[in-house]
Amino acid sequence: MTINKIALQVEVPIACFRDSRAREYIATYPVPPPSTVYGMLLSTVGEENRFRHCGVKLAIAMLSETAKSRVIRKVRRFKERDINSSKNSKPDYQEILTGIKFVVWIDAAEDRSILNLAERLHNAMVNPSSVVRFGNICLGESRDLVNSIDLLTNEHQQGALKWLTQDEYGEITLPYWIDRLGSERTRWLRYRLIKSVDWKPPALSWTQIQTD
């Protein structure tokens, strides 16, 4: 039987979802962008081709109130051809979020892969040894390790959550597709966090991962 929908609960102790417009001061988005969550899901199943599951839809709901902090860290920016030049690294401030807990629903009805992303994630959850992958699962930077990913069960669905909901007048602008060769083809949507006790994704919470 084909599996088209699956829901996962994710916990991450610390992360920075770097604002694409940030320069010297590394600001973070207040919530994980759909593009970042999609990358984490690909890593979970060991998929290296990020185009593989285009068409899949994600619905994200925050379960926690994250805390924002500011740290100072060494940041590398290549200003000299000599990669070892001291001018290529310097300390800068970076915002980080702690206590990140959210749920992501995956709708793979429009994922045209032979084995869609929902099926691959389900297989990874019930039979982890079947996944061939390398490195750790992260949410954003390689430093930002995921603590746990679990199948969402009825027992988990208690209490309020905040849906990341599309809203053209929303105060949060997030990427759902990143152009790694520049910024021309990066795609954005505006969102608002809507508090609810309904764990069923509302229509406007779905974001389709696509390049156009």
Q: What is the pLDDT of residues 39-74, one digit of tens each?
A: 999 999 999 999 999 999 999 999 999 999 998 876
Where do the domains of the chain lie? Answer: 5-18+29-64+98-208
| pLDDT on residue 76 | 62
Task: Report the topology of domain 5-18+29-64+98-208.
Answer: Alpha-Beta Plaits (3.30.70)
Buried b (16+ CB within 10 A) or exposed e, 57-76: bbbbbbbeebeeeeeeeeee
- pLDDT band, very low/low/confident/very high, at 80 (cuts 50, 70, 90): low
- pLDDT band, very low/low/confident/very high, at 79 (cuts 50, 70, 90): low
Q: Provide the 3-class DSSP secondary structure of residue 20.
A: coil
Instruction: Look at residue 86 and tell me whether its pLDDT is greater than 90.
Output: no
In the predicted model, what is the mean pLDDT of residues 135-161?
A: 91
**Chain mean pLDDT for the chain:** 90
Q: How many CB atoms within 10 Å of residue 7?
A: 21
In the predicted model, what is the mean pLDDT of residues 75-80?
A: 63
In the predicted model, what is the mean pLDDT of residues 129-143?
A: 91
